[in-house]
Amino acid sequence: MALRFIIHIVGDLAQPLHNGNGTDRGGNDLKVTWFGKPTNLHSVWDSLLVGDEQLTFSEMAAWLNARITPADVKEWSSADPRVWMADSVIVRDQVYPPSSDSALGYRYVYENTPRMERQLEKGGVRLAAYLNNVF
């Protein structure tokens, strides 16, 4: 159970909207449409954006892992969750759509898929580094 909690927390810290701005419950209160379907920004980042990759979890993990360089591992392996949060806050501030546009589609995918993929890579490296430290 403790391991499941660690995995969940480290993953949450990599999701930019889990490091909320204090005004919209991490994007839950920001109503948007995703290719015409009503949702909220938090759901876009929790599942819809990554789901559009059309890969299994194993395929996605292998693909992302192949892109991680030794320099990335060195840079992202800080054991301090405050560093992880600060990093996600920078990304969080980039993922909010312009206030005039709540209709998210291909442009949003194009602009944010690289951010999402990088956050997944960072989360994986940070989880591995944390577990290696603990065990």
Report pLDDT digits (tens) over 85-119.
999 999 998 999 887 679 999 999 999 999 999 99
Report pLDDT digits (tens) over 19-30.
878 789 989 999
pLDDT band at 80 (very low <50, low <70, confident <90, very high): confident
How far lies 22's CA from each of 18, 19, 26, 67, 123, in Å? 10, 9, 7, 33, 22
CB-side neighbour CA atoms (13 Å) of 122: 23
- d(Cα 10, Cα 49) in Å, to the nearest integer? 19
Q: pTM for this structure?
A: 0.91
Region 23-43: mean pLDDT is 94
CATH of the domain spanning 2-134: 1.10.575.10
79, pLDDT greater than 90: no
58, pLDDT greater than 90: yes
Predicted local distance difference test score (pLDDT) of residue 98? 81
Higher per-residue pLDDT: 98 or 32:
32
- 49 touches 116 (CB < 8 A): yes
Return the domain boundaries, the chain.
Answer: 2-134
